[in-house]
Amino acid sequence: MIVLRWLYNIISYSRLKSVGNNVRLSPWGSITRPQELEIGSNVFIARHYNISARDMKIGNDVMIGPRFMAECDDHKFDSIGHTMYSIQKHRKIAKIVIENDVWIGGN
């Protein structure tokens, strides 16, 4: 199982939009749409992360604790008269930027 996670991370790394030096991602996480994720240098992301990127950027010198979740799209919940189920494919998409020298604690 650990070998499969390791291979998954290598494939994800190779598909990133850009990646700096000294980047360490725990093998126990996932990245959706890695081609839309930029990661700077000196970045560490702990285990059980889930990144769903749509034009997302993580700066330099960033440390992120376990169970981090970043979702660049959200369900539209302001559609009066429609059930959430009926509009589940309608999304609001926004860019996420984590600036330089940031520490996000564990969840």
Q: What is the pLDDT of residues 31-70, one digit of tens each?
A: 999 999 999 999 999 999 999 988 999 999 999 999 999 9
Q: Is 90 or 105 the better-scoring residue by pLDDT?
A: 105
Q: Tell me what percent of the residues of the chain surpass a pLDDT of 90.
A: 52
What does the CA dihedral 84, 79, 82, 89 come to, rounded to 10 degrees?
Answer: -50
23: its two tokens: 């980047």
Rounded-to-integer distance, Cα 44 and Cα 22, Å? 8
Q: What is the pTM of this model?
A: 0.81
pLDDT at 85: 74
47: its two tokens: 């285990």
Band (106; pLDDT cuts 50, 70, 90): confident
